[in-house]
Amino acid sequence: MNHLKTYVLLAGMTALFGAVGYMIGGTGGMLIALAVAAAMNLFAYWNADKMVLSHFRAQEVDPRHPDHRVRAYVEDTLALAQRAGLPAPKIYIIDNPQPNAFATGRDPNNAAVAATTGLIGLLSRDEIRGVMAHELAHVKNRDTLTMTVTATIAGAIGMLANFAFFFGGNRNPIGGLLIMILAPIAASLVQMAISRAREYEADRIGAEIGGEPEALARALQKIEAYARDRVNIDAERNPAMAHLFIINPLAGHGADNLFSTHPATHNRIAQLMQLAGRFGQPTAAAAGTDTEAGPWGARPKRGPWG
């Protein structure tokens, strides 16, 4: 049902793209816009993962990395992928103090996962495993392609809406203004609906892959708390990619996001704690407590790269 809902929402986003094209150039404009949407989807299918990784200047890492924290991150991610029955993904590090992570790739055979230096420095080893199990759940569910294509179309709708106002507004200035305002909002709502459903499902399956839902719950709480104080400049430059991350990377500005692409973290934590109870894990301790020192001692407020 979740996959069907996602496909319907993607179809709606593509139809919106065509409607904006109709506003610009009538039937011909609509057909051109739909052709552009199809071409963009095809391009995103083959290249979106490379574009996302390049945008965030991600660097591939392997088990020979000199930092023991990065080696543990790589080894655990590969072990989790094997446990989930997935091919080994490419593993990346992003030099960014904001703790966060995402997965990308058109299918499990061409998947990549990335974590920021802020996340590696902040979380304990079991919490990092929980985060990477969540990202591998996105790979297993083939969410990575859907979410990347959604980001591509959402960004294009905003650009096309501006064209509708400047080039289609001469025939109908009020309609052009409404399209310029409402089309990006509608695209954001669709993007939000797709992402929220996918995040809940990835939390659930990630908990099954990693077997430690409470560790993921602690990680989510810490990531959100630290992300508020650390601006992710690359994410701010392209907000359409925000839904790729495990926690909204735009929270660094401290402003509420009207159309958040992520579910409320406390709801995700509550769901994970219920799963922990089913797994027979103790749930008396509140998520987010700093009682575990982790394999590298006290958790620093900054990542290992400063």
Q: Among this protein's residues, is 135 annotated catalytic?
A: yes
- When mean pLDDT is compared across 187-191, 217-221, 251-255, the lowest value belongs to 251-255
- Model confidence at 304, pLDDT cuts 50, 70, 90, reads very low
Q: Tens digits of per-residue pLDDT, 50-77?
A: 888 998 999 999 999 999 999 999 999 9
What integer pLDDT is reported at residue 306 of this predicted model?
43
* pLDDT (mean) for 43-49: 76
Beta strands in the chain (DSSP E): 59-60, 90-94, 101-104, 112-116
Neighbours of 185 (CB within 10 A): 14
Q: Tens digits of per-residue pLDDT, 197-225?
A: 788 889 999 999 999 999 999 999 999 88
Neighbours of 222 (CB within 10 A): 21
Q: Which of 60, 75, 127, 135 is catalytic?
A: 135
In sequence order, the 6+-apart residues with CB closer than 8 A to the CB of 272 are 203, 207, 213, 214, 216, 217, 220, 287
CA angle 187, 233, 257 (to 5 degrees): 40
Strand 101-104's sheet: what is its strand order? 59-60, 90-94, 112-116, 101-104
What integer pLDDT is reported at residue 276 of this predicted model?
86
- Model confidence at 231, pLDDT cuts 50, 70, 90, reads confident
Count the residues in the chain. Answer: 306
Considering 111-125, 150-164, 197-211, 251-265, the range whose residues carry the highest mean pLDDT is: 111-125
| Mean confidence (pLDDT) of the chain | 77
- Model confidence at 167, pLDDT cuts 50, 70, 90, reads low
* pLDDT (mean) for 160-164: 66
* pLDDT (mean) for 120-135: 96
Q: Which of 92, 132, 89 is nearest to 114 (CA)?
A: 92
Share of the chain above pLDDT 90, in %: 36
Q: Is the pLDDT of residue 248 over 50?
A: yes
